[in-house]
Amino acid sequence: MGCSYFPLRTLMILKIRKERPLQNEYWMLPRVPFKVKLWLRIPRISRYVPFGYEIDPEDDEWLNPIPKELELLELAKKHLKQYSLRQVSAWLTTQSGREITHDGLRKRIDVERKRKHLTSIKREYARRLQKTLQQIEALEKNYTGTYTYDDEGDESCTASHSQAS
């Protein structure tokens, strides 16, 4: 009975070793795709300097980004799903060292939301316009008898027949 039990125990130990690494071994984790955010400087349009930016010391007309504050602001937007504006603005003030009120945070988020919404509307208009222009070009190419008016000729209402491509 002792001889038959020993090989089974050895198999169990080998099975456990395969599941767990030894102390001297290490595991390589797969690389996660990481995108670096490139914050751009913006023109200064008022005397107010928005949170996350500072005045460029060489040119007062431009604002340089402060990456730490902008990253904290992005994180604060996510915290707003669970916490109030006052709590998030207090957290943001303590983390960044730069004061921002709950009204200032609300205004900043509202402006960004409006700009994002307007951008999406304009992109949709541009997509529709591009589609319409392609349809017009297709009609012009396939249509056999289009007329244009000659502005340079002696006759003011002369119609010329264009040939199909």
> Which domain, by its residues, includes 27?
2-139
Is 33 inside any structural domain? Answer: yes
CB 136 within 8 A of CB 129: no
CB 89 within 8 A of CB 102: yes
Is 147 inside any structural domain? Answer: no
Is 145 inside any structural domain? Answer: no
Is 103 inside any structural domain? Answer: yes
Task: Quote the CA–CA distance of 18 and 13 in Å, as a whole number.
Answer: 9
Residue 136's identity, in one-letter code, is I
**Domain total in the chain:** 1
Is 152 inside any structural domain? Answer: no
Task: Report which of residues 140 and 149 the model is more confident about.
Answer: 140
Is 159 inside any structural domain? Answer: no
What is the pLDDT confidence band of residue 165, given thresholds at 50, 70 and 90? very low
Is residue 78's pLDDT more than 80?
yes
Summarised one tens digit per residue, pLDDT across range 6-48 is: 455 555 555 555 555 555 555 555 665 667 788 999 999 999 9
Is 146 inside any structural domain? Answer: no
Find all residues with CB under 8 Å of 42, minimum gap 6, and list them. Answer: 53, 62, 63, 65
Task: Quote the CA–CA distance of 164 and 146 in Å, as a whole number.
Answer: 9
